[in-house]
Amino acid sequence: MEILVFNPIGHVDSARLQQDFPDLTIREESELEKALACCVHAEALIALAHFVEDPLIAAMPGLRWICSLTSGTDHLNTLPSLKPDVRITSGRGIHGPQMAELTFLYMLSLVRRMDRIRADQENHVWDRRHQTLLWSKTIVIAGIGAISEELALRCKAFGMATIGVSDSRNDAPGFDEIVPRSKLADVAARADFLVALVPLNKETVGMFDEKIFAVMKPSAIFINVARGPVVDEAALIAALREKRIAGAGLDVFETEPLPADNSLWDMPNVVITPRIGGMSDVYDRQIHPLVVHNLRCFVEGRINDMKNIVR
């Protein structure tokens, strides 16, 4: 059995995986052309979902399983050559630490005005300004899953009040309160920080729109670490420009890479990162146990025992 690991940015330790499965032929490639040249016999593809393009799928006639290393797999649904009987699993459940830390990077950078601190340092200015704390602030997290739970627990350690928004959960670790999506506007009005962590689907496209930004406090900060299309970007830009909200931390956008002429780039009250939320320096260690479990199930024909089955 042959397995292709398409690994452009080194998210999988293929050598370690080969040691765990010495009877398999595990081929690792980081470039698409080289992957296309050696993938014809591969029955499984291990890759970050958003790096998988249709030519690669079309070149694997015997493909039976895609092991996505990302939580989101919606990109795979756009590939015409992907057969409906190909099993897909996701990397859901491992991204909590890095996503939570990125959210804290936004919160602390914006409330502590890190831009002004850096400017003062560069200009040798000693200015002891008022400092805003996370303690006693309210964070509203829309979408409750493994990442949200990690984030909520860290927020509690900072003395914050935590409110979750979900139609599928009414209880979760680290949350003081959980409300349905129909109450999003109600809790957005109470938020010091409103965080988007919902999956991308037809119900969540444009979920954070002008109506939501209109009820937020002028001192509130919006954070998107979900997917770009869950936000009405034009409405967000207007709210930021008109100072109806205080700022935003954004890792994802309607168009990626974010176009150079997008006005978000030049807003002093916005922190932009280039979709790095799921990345970490220990990603291979985080994902390895999940890949090993699912690969063992695949080899042994126990595909229903796999974890994170998408289809």
User: Residue 20 above 90 pLDDT?
Assistant: yes
- Asked if 72 contacts 91 with a C-beta cutoff of 8 angstroms, the reply is no
Fold entry, domain 2-93+281-305: Rossmann fold (3.40.50)
Does the predicted model carry a pTM greater than 0.75?
yes
pLDDT tens track for 91-144: 999 999 999 999 999 999 999 999 999 999 999 999 999 999 999 999 999 999
Q: Which CATH class is domain 96-272?
A: alpha beta
How far apart CA 66 and CA 43 sit, in angstroms, is 9
pLDDT tens track for 186-205: 999 999 999 999 999 999 99
Calculate mean pLDDT across residues 83-91.
97
Domains 2-93+281-305 and 96-272 belong to one CATH topology? yes
> DSSP for 257-286?
SPPTT-GGGG-TTEEE--S-TT--TTHHHH
**φ and ψ of 98, to 5 deg:** -70, -35
Nearest to 81, CA basis, from 48, 36, 38, 26 = 36
Domain ranges of the chain: 2-93+281-305, 96-272
For 96, 122, 174, 223, 309, the CA distances from 142, given in Å and listed in that order, are 15, 38, 14, 10, 23
The pLDDT of residue 23 is: 97
